Chains A and B, each alone.
Chain A
Amino acid sequence: MPSSLPLPTSDDDRTNLSNIGGENLSDQAIKKWCRRVGFGLVNVWLVIHLIGVFLPAFSIPPSPEIVRDLYWSLRFYPQAIYMDHGYHFFGPDPGDSTLLRFVAVQADGTSVRGTYPNRNAFPRLRYHRHFMLTEAIPRVASFDEGLGALQAKTYAARILASTNAESVRLYRVTHRMTSIDRFLAGGRLDDPETYFDEMLGTFAIDDEKSVVRR
């Protein structure tokens, strides 16, 4: 028995040697090439991802126009993966809160008054979900007036459905923050004078069962 493998002496031997572990050398080369291309693509994705995650926050005004333009061109990526965020938590300053007040009138004339959201909602996450909806009212209205009107109609439709009413009057309520001086002078966080109402409109269900603004 030979102590070591004999050197290949014919073409057949060479062919056999190129077939290692049942895999042809050319297959291995293709696999290696695929791995390299795959790795290159991962690197390209990584660069796009980092830019995509960084840009949305950078593009929040005040920001250079060039950044805002770049963000607008590349926004498809962060938006598609839900990473289109600014992360400016409580910035630039903590602001006033926005709530919703409503007076709904049912078919028998009974009126239902309320404030939305309900602070006693449990678990607390439910309260935050609803609170985010009212907090979005000034943002949407300042972004697009028409969209703000549609938002008010949407909220009205929901209140009409949940109170079983025929019409509803909606008020946007701005709850002003209490300054240090005011609090030291004896003011409270829930003093009535810290709430400012602004009527959003009266909404009713028409004959075709759709919600219209009156």
Chain B
Amino acid sequence: MTERLAKAWDSWQRFWFAKESPLVVCVMRWPMVGMILYTHLIWTFDFQAFFADQASWQSREFVQQYQAEQFAYSFWWHVPADWMWETHFVSLLILSLFWVGFATPITGWLCFIIVVSYANRVPLAMYGLDQVNGIAALYLAIAPCGGRLSVDAWIRRRLHNIDAASLAMRRVADWIRKVPFWRDCQQTHTQPTSSVGLSIRLFQVHLCFIYLWGGLGKLQGETWWNGEAVWLTAATLDYQSNDLTWLIHFPWLYQTLSITTWAWEISFPILVWQPRLRRWVLMVGLMMHLGIGMFLGMWTFGLAMIFIYLAFVSAETYTMAATKAALFWRRWISEPGLSNAASDHQLDGRELMIESRGR
């Protein structure tokens, strides 16, 4: 019994806390926080119409009554009316800093607070996109997602490369290193850590939850069973951004799509863990979300869901893709005159150097 418990505990530890390279979350930070920034930037167009205390679509009186029994926090309830625009722009600035990877241990958590506060201030205007933004903000905040491909990493390299002969610069660098807030940022990991493993697993498992409940929810309805649901979705004019009514002439197609949708969603939490099937399972999801973006006009939601798929890609794959992209760039664009062999040799040397410097 004790042995079994120990084995189970060991499996739990290995599943949730395996050490992973921060490269994965660092890559994910760019599109995910980019989407969060875009989402909040768009509020600027209708800011007063949604966020003003009175004469707005979501007045203070209505929202506070709507959330009466909820534990929904928002810093917007404490912002005076005269300071609302300033608060909005400061929020956008913080999101921008997190996006480019500046002071990520701090801006990451601020990003999470901002996402939650905006969502809880205008709750009825939220939909799937905001739910995915919330997931991205929390899981990126718990990982050192500024370890690489970030301003933090760039500054760290610069501080290490300060010219020894330049005394003034060295003093500035020493002073910066001692600032408590900055010292924390400099400790951002570049080595594989358990917090990265936890963050990646949470992304993966949460995606499984989303699809599982999406599929089970559909099975409670009649039209997902009889295969008409995809037609009805396509025929909802108020969602439609491209005409899909031609589907009516292909019953086999919309019926197959309806059945495939819930069958794929329910099987996702099982199939995606099979290494041989993962690529195909994700490919089906990719096509589904691109279809939602193209025909229902929800590009932002579709892309946000696809960005979570990046958690299923290994750090080695990212490194290999970057190497191939650099190779392509060097061979065909920057130095097209180079022979293939010479180009390969020089690039390999450069890649090795970059890797060793990063570690």
Q: A: which residues have CB within 8 A of B?
A: 42-43, 46, 49-50, 53-54, 57-58, 60, 62, 75-76, 79-94, 97, 99, 119, 123-133, 136, 140, 147, 150-151, 154-155, 157-158, 160-162, 175, 177-178, 180, 183-184, 189-190
Contact = CB atoms under 8 A, between A and B. Distances in A.
Contacts of B58: 133, 154
A178 B209 CA distance: 32
B57 A155 contact: yes
B149 interface: no
B193 interface: no
B72 interface: yes
A132 B65 contact: no
B81 interface: no
Interface in B275-330: 297-300
A123 B233 contact: no
B143 to A, nearest CB: 13
B213 interface: yes
B223 interface: yes
A91 B218 contact: yes
Interface in B212-250: 213-214, 217-224, 228-229, 231-233, 235-241, 245, 248
B126 to A, nearest CB: 7
A5 B220 CA distance: 75
A162 B134 contact: no
A46 B239 contact: no
Given A76-B71, A158-B57, A129 B125 contact: yes
Interface of B: 12, 16, 38-39, 42, 45-46, 49-50, 54-59, 61-62, 65-66, 70-73, 115-116, 119-120, 124-129, 131, 134-135, 138, 198, 202, 205-206, 209-210, 213-214, 217-224, 228-229, 231-233, 235-241, 245, 248, 297-300
Contacts of A129: 42, 46, 50, 125
20 contacts: A79-B70, A80-B71, A83-B131, A83-B134, A86-B217, A92-B220, A92-B222, A93-B223, A93-B232, A97-B238, A124-B300, A126-B42, A128-B297, A129-B42, A130-B125, A132-B124, A132-B126, A154-B59, A189-B240, A190-B237
B220 A183 contact: no
A50 B138 CA distance: 13
A151 B236 contact: no
Given A87-B217, A140-B124, A177 B235 contact: yes
Contact of B131 (A50, A85, A155, A178): A85
Q: Specify which of B72, B134, B217, B218 lies most central, judged by the most chain A CB atoms within 10 Å of its CB.
A: B217
A87 B210 contact: yes
Interface of A is mostly: helix
A88 B221 CA distance: 11
A53 B71 contact: no
Contact of A162 (B49, B59, B116, B222): B49
Contacts of B229: 90, 93-94
Contacts of B245: 183, 189
Contacts of B198: 42, 46
Nearest to B210: A87
Nearest to A123: B42
Contacts of B116: 81-82
Q: Specify which of B210, B224, B232 lies most central, judged by the most chain A CB atoms within 10 Å of its CB.
A: B232
Contacts of B138: 81, 83
B248 A180 contact: yes
B72 A79 contact: yes
B55 A161 contact: yes
B205 to A, nearest CB: 7
B103 to A, nearest CB: 22
Q: Specify which of A124, A129, A136, A190 lies most central, judged by the most chain B CB atoms within 10 Å of its CB.
A: A129
A57 B214 CA distance: 9
B126 A57 contact: no
A97 B71 contact: no
Contacts of A79: 70-72
Contact of A91 (B62, B66, B224, B299): B224
A100 to B, nearest CB: 10
Contact of A94 (B46, B62, B223): B223
B213 A87 contact: yes
A179 B2 CA distance: 60
Contacts of B125: 129-130, 132-133
A127 to B, nearest CB: 8
A62 B46 contact: no
B94 to A, nearest CB: 17
- List 7 A-B pairs, minimum CB-CB distance, nearest first: A88-B217, A92-B221, A91-B217, A93-B221, A92-B220, A57-B213, A161-B55
A151 B125 CA distance: 13
A189 B237 contact: yes
B248 A132 contact: no
Contacts of A80: 71-73
A129 B127 CA distance: 8
B220 A57 contact: no
Q: Specify which of B116, B198, B236 lies most central, judged by the most chain A CB atoms within 10 Å of its CB.
A: B236
Nearest to A116: B57
B220 A62 contact: yes
Nearest to B16: A46
